[in-house]
A and B are shown apart, each in its own frame.
Chain A
Amino acid sequence: MKYLLLIYSNAENWEHPLFLRDPAFLALPPEERDALAARAEELFTEISESGELVAGTALGDPVTARTMRVRDGVPVATDGPFVETKEQLAGYVVVDCDSPERAAEIAARIPDARFAAVEVRPVMTASGLEM
């Protein structure tokens, strides 16, 4: 079962890995910051080696976003993201794992879950059971 993990982060302090310049992160004692960064590394090594990681990437700052709308057949572009919020979609990971519980566990171990949020969304499939 595949899940899209949406990593939200405060766009003011965008950097990659995403959480590195988050004020809440920077306020932590150095050893705790190191431990958190190391745990993030560990998580990505773990899900790559297990074959659960399907895809993932960080996204550019929302100021680089363009949102397209077509009205009466005319495409109109506006600068900036579709939804204006403090926390923006900063990156995503697609995992293929055993259960929704495992997907939630992976999401909770992404450090940004601690500073903003990571949303877990199942990916639709073209398979189905007759009822």
Chain B
Amino acid sequence: MSGPGDVSGPGDAAVPAGRVEELLRRSAPRAVAALARRSGRFETAEDAVQEALLAAAEHWPREGVPDRPEAWLIRVASRRMTDLLRGEAAARRREERAAARVPPDERVAPAADAAADAAAGGDGTLTLLLLCCHPALTPPSQVALTLRAAGGLTTAEVARAFLVPEATMAQRIARAKQRIRAAGGRFAMPPAGERDARVRAVLRVLYLVFNEGYTASSGPELHRAELTGEAIRLARELHGLLPRDGEAAGLLALMLLTDARRPARTAADGSLVPLAEQDRGLWDRASIAEGTALVTRALARARLGPYQAQAAIAAVHAEAARAQDTDWPQIVALYELLERLDPGPVVRLNHAVAVAMARGPRAGLELLGPLAGDGRMARHHRLHAVRAHLLEMAGDGAGALAEFRAAARLTTSVPERRYLRGRAARLTG
């Protein structure tokens, strides 16, 4: 591995690690795309860029960032790729006892359809995101591959964020790439008929990444909190690539509006603060303004979808100066819309809370009735937690106490359990 000086002159020495990280994460998807497009070998290109990222993380902070960081990465990665392909070719020769058909050097030469690919996918970031969210993969594999290949995170960083050993994460990513290849996936824009479903898959993956980070609050899980920033960065990039996609805008808006509450959602001791009790002065006004503007524009112009509806709900919460100023009838109407667009038990629960706030607890409890018959929901802590809140609102202290206790036992989240036990204690005290 050579130093940074061979592509361009070294820049300022002793660069802050944060700036190097940001540069690497921004450049990584374009480097993967450039190499994958040239070679037609996505898996090897992705491995080669990962090694170049590790080399850059070591060299740049010490020796300075090269003037053209992306070119540096591509140069180092393509050299590494030649080695990897030579190794693969040798292995294949041993297996087949036959000479490889194409010498490795020719394999990194531009592929014939590179120009068409470039025209379809801009700088290749969109093609890369769509490939990482290939339907042959499970959501956790899509998440892991997206963060490494398109997010420019190292395997160690992804592993740390998901609290698994690095070897486990490396295996998950390698397996994901094998599955894509086995399913015939290649580095090219999917056919027009599949593109929309693939974009929806990318949105879902970014939403999962965001939630992983947003729910992290303290202690050993703090590394996970970085994931919200990554998700917002990638969602912003996707919105830039697909400015007319209302759901891409809606998802970015939803993330910004949710993340705006982060400074208020945990107390100093790490315990969770419910929305109604949050200090709204701590909410990030700039994120709220940006998210609200995005969702307002999307709702006016694009086809409606669940992320826009959720973002609209978050925007209504955000515009209330105090919890008691919340426009609950509007939130109820938005949840009714969301239940039509994307029905599910969690939407139903939130809808029931909104109805209780707008029309009283009994109306909310009525909506919960059908959920109790659902076997999976009956063991879900959220159903019991919502019922507890609504029973407490209705003045049924004993009923609320039993439900808070049931919810506290069913949740697998330490801070949620602490919160639920606290609510139960208030009722007995």
Task: Please report A residues at the B interface, Cβ cutoff 8 Å.
Answer: 1-2, 48-55, 96-98, 122-131
Measured between alpha carbons, how far is A48 from B175 in the docked complex, in Å? 10
Measured between alpha carbons, how far is A110 from B339 in the docked complex, in Å? 40
Write the nearest CB–CB distance from B341 to chain A, whole angstroms: 21
Write the nearest CB–CB distance from B159 to chain A, whole angstroms: 10
Q: A127 contacts B217, CB within 8 Å?
A: yes
Q: A126 contacts B416, CB within 8 Å?
A: no
Write the nearest CB–CB distance from A44 to chain B, whole angstroms: 13
Consensus secondary structure, chain A interface: loop
List, in ascending order, chain A residues with CB within 8 A of B416's CB: 128-129, 131
Identify the closest chain B residue to A49 (Cβ): B175
Asked if B237 lies at the interface with its beta carbon under 8 angstroms from chain A, I say no
Instruction: Select A51's contact among B163, B172, B412, beta carbons within 8 Å.
Output: B172
Asked if B44 lies at the interface with its beta carbon under 8 angstroms from chain A, I say no
Counting chain B CB atoms within 10 Å of each CB, which of A52, A53, A126, A127 scores highest? A127
Instruction: Select A130's contact among B164, B165, B219, B272, beta carbons within 8 Å.
Output: B272
Q: B419 contacts A131, CB within 8 Å?
A: yes
Write the nearest CB–CB distance from B127 to chain A, whole angstroms: 24
* Of B6-14, B26-34, B136-144, B244-252, the one with at least 4 CB within 8 A of chain A: B136-144
Measured between alpha carbons, how far is A87 from B16 in the docked complex, in Å? 57
Measured between alpha carbons, how far is A122 from B278 in the docked complex, in Å? 30
Asked if B385 lies at the interface with its beta carbon under 8 angstroms from chain A, I say yes
Asked if B413 lies at the interface with its beta carbon under 8 angstroms from chain A, I say yes
Measured between alpha carbons, how far is A21 from B272 in the docked complex, in Å? 50
A124 touching B164 in the complex, CB below 8 Å, given contacts A50-B175, A51-B173: no
List, in ascending order, chain A residues with CB within 8 A of B218's CB: 126
Write the nearest CB–CB distance from B50 to chain A, whole angstroms: 16
Write the nearest CB–CB distance from B363 to chain A, whole angstroms: 19
Q: B413 contacts A130, CB within 8 Å?
A: no
Measured between alpha carbons, how far is A53 from B215 in the docked complex, in Å? 23
A124 touching B419 in the complex, CB below 8 Å, given contacts A51-B141, A130-B275: no
Q: B139 contacts A126, CB within 8 Å?
A: no
Asked if B221 lies at the interface with its beta carbon under 8 angstroms from chain A, I say yes
Instruction: Select B419's contact among A51, A54, A98, A128, beta carbons within 8 Å.
Output: A128
Nearest 9 CB-CB pairs, A to B?
A: A51-B172, A128-B415, A127-B215, A128-B413, A128-B416, A126-B221, A51-B171, A122-B412, A130-B265
Identify the closest chain B residue to A1 (Cβ): B412
Write the nearest CB–CB distance from B160 to chain A, whole angstroms: 13
Q: A127 contacts B273, CB within 8 Å?
A: no
Q: B215 contacts A128, CB within 8 Å?
A: yes
Sample (29) of A-B pairs whose CB atoms are under 8 Å apart? A48-B171, A49-B171, A50-B141, A50-B172, A51-B144, A51-B164, A51-B168, A51-B169, A51-B170, A51-B171, A51-B175, A53-B168, A54-B165, A124-B413, A124-B417, A126-B217, A126-B221, A126-B414, A127-B224, A128-B217, A128-B272, A128-B411, A128-B415, A129-B215, A129-B272, A130-B275, A130-B278, A131-B385, A131-B389
